[in-house]
Copies of this chain bind each other. A is one copy, B any other.
């Protein structure tokens, strides 16, 4: 893949929507040409094929999300509070780019064959959570739990809740109120389901 200029990056914006709507195989290069305005030949000049167009979009979004996540947790607040901020940041990224996010989900099943994407998911979702869980155990605001289980649970909770709202919202952007959803999810994840009686 050749280096992508900012112009090209902007042109490719709309491509995610096509993948989201029609699925990978339902998306023709012709459709990408139509929506981006970039001629097919040019697409092949920059990308090695259709799949690379897709992975470019995913990595681009994941990188931005990872940056937002890193920023969200780099404060002086308690680990518990920062965990809420992190979830809110992740959901905000989802709400603001529902199409890409939907496509990412569609690739989750074969993520083991897309090492770059798997790594980017780690950076944007798992690693920040793992860090906060460790911090939280240290500052005593969070229970000490199995980090692997907890990151999976939290990742699943965030991504599926977000996807649920995205599908409900059809094509609106932002697809949902990230702060509100984050608050609901965090309430559940922090306090659990069990009655305190």
Chain A residues proximal to chain B, CB less than 8 Å: 20, 23-25, 80, 83, 102-113, 133, 136, 140-143, 145-146, 148-150, 152-153, 155-161, 163-164, 167, 181, 184-185, 187-197
Contact = CB atoms under 8 A, between A and B. Distances in A.
Given A23-B109, A189-B192, A192-B194, 17 more contacts: A23-B113, A24-B24, A105-B108, A107-B109, A111-B167, A112-B167, A142-B195, A143-B191, A143-B195, A143-B196, A149-B161, A150-B188, A153-B188, A156-B156, A156-B160, A189-B193, A191-B194
Given A141-B195, A195-B141, A188 B149 contact: yes
Copies in the complex: 2
A143 B193 contact: yes
Contacts of A164: 148, 152
A110 to B, nearest CB: 5
A153 B189 contact: yes
Nearest to A101: B109
A159 B109 CA distance: 11
A124 to B, nearest CB: 14
A64 to B, nearest CB: 19
B111 A109 contact: no
Contact of A106 (B108, B146, B184, B190): B108
